[in-house]
Structure formats: structure tokens, C-alpha cells
Structure 1
Amino acid sequence: MIRQLSLFDMHELYEMEPSNHFEAVFSALNLNPIWALLEKPNKLGAPRELNYGAMVYSLIARVVERIVTMKDLVKRLKRDPIFRYDCGFLHSDQIPSEASYSRMITTISESDVMEQIHDELVLLAIDEGHISEE
């Protein structure tokens, strides 16, 4: 019998340094449907000004860090360079406004990508439950 370990233990997660626990959470999620949705359809023209990948990671970090409002998230990104880096923003990246986050969230919520990610996580949790019972 092969026993698979869980992705990470919640107790261990909260004892990790923020950088490490963000990485543990980010790596456990398959965000490919979101990346495909937000990918610039045409490689020609002006480059995008916002780092959408870092924005998605910062939304996840917002939940982990229990940051209540988007306004608070934007403030934290502006004043905390380590948090900003942990979320994937480069020093040269513009910090998104609340309106930018709102537009991105609208784009994501108007698609079915969150359903896909949710379904995949549920299946992963079920598989882990079956493996730990063996």
C-alpha cells in the first residue's frame, strides 16, 4: 500500500514564514484556466501594464492573510515590498488599483474557470481522503 502525503498540513502552513506558506498554497492550485483566460490574445500592440499573474496570487494571499477589503490589499502591496514580491510583483510593476482588481474579478467571474478550479480541488480532496483511509 502506498500512502500519499497531503499537500500540506494546516498547522505547518501557519508556522511557515509568509513567503513559504504563500508558495505552498500557490503551488497546490492549478491556476492554468485563469492564466489562459487572462492571456493577451494578440501578441501585437502595446504590452499589458498590469501583472495579472501577481494580481491573482495577491487575491489568494489576501485570503491567507485575512485582508478584508481590496483597499487594504492595495495599501499592503504599496507599503510592504516583501508582501508585494511574495505575490509575484516585480519592482518595476505598477501596483493595481481597486478598479483594476474589480475588472479582473469581473472577467474571471463571467467565465467558468472558478468552477473548473473548484471541481479539481474537490476531486483532489476526495482522492486524498481515499488515500489516507487506506
Structure 2
Amino acid sequence: MNTAEGKIELELNCQLHEGEFVAIYGASGTGKTSILRMLGGLLQAESGRIQVGDKVWYDTTCKVNIPTHLRSIGFMFQDYALFPNMTVRQNLTFALNKKQSTVMVEELLEVMELQQLQAQNQTIFPVVNSSEWH
């Protein structure tokens, strides 16, 4: 992968099981966000393969690249990424396709204790840069 600092190589080989939580950590500029973007299809590797279960999502040798919206993955951006013209509920349901039930959104609102905020516009949430966290 080419960056402003030059070419870097990322290698990740792991097996994860359903229900596991995983943390990717390291110094700034070591490729954490790039790995997540590659998994999500937001960034293409120059070479390599991404396989999830028995499905190949990306393979430069076989020229396979499953579109982002067809990959069963989700992640939260570290930067502010809400649509300002939408309510909390609308932001959560935006990624659902028309055939998907909103039950998942109801469960998420409950788990995250956001039921009382679901009709609110995102402007009620302060914008905080992660570098300001103590």
C-alpha cells in the first residue's frame, strides 16, 4: 500500500468466531484504519485476499471484489459520520435495505439506551475530537 510516507506492507491472518470482540491497536500510521477499510471494501489492496468464512470478498489473483454493500460487515467511523439532516433513528436505518426488518434498529436503540433520543436530530450531540479525550 502506498502512503504519503512511502510504501507499507500490511499482513493480517486471523480466525475470528461469532460473538468475539476484537481490538486492533497500534501506533498512528501503522494501518489499523486501512485494514478496516479494506475489510469494508472502502479501500483496495494492491495485492492479497480477504476471505470471510467460505466467501471470498477480495482476491487480486482471481480478480474478485465483492461490492461494499454486499459485504456482511459494519463498523463505526472514528470521525464524526452522522447525517445532520436525519434523526438518530433515520441514521441507524439508513444502511438497511428495503427488505430488512427494523427490528435490529429497535434492539440497537434498546441496548444502547437511545430510545428517548430516537426522534432527535444529531445536532444535540456534541462534536468531540478523539484527541481531546482524557
TM-score, L = length of structure 1: 0.22
Which structure has the bigger radius of gyration? 2
Q: Which one has a larger percent strand, Structure 1 or Structure 2? A: 2
Q: Which one has a larger percent helix, Structure 1 or Structure 2? A: 1
TM-score, L = length of structure 2: 0.22
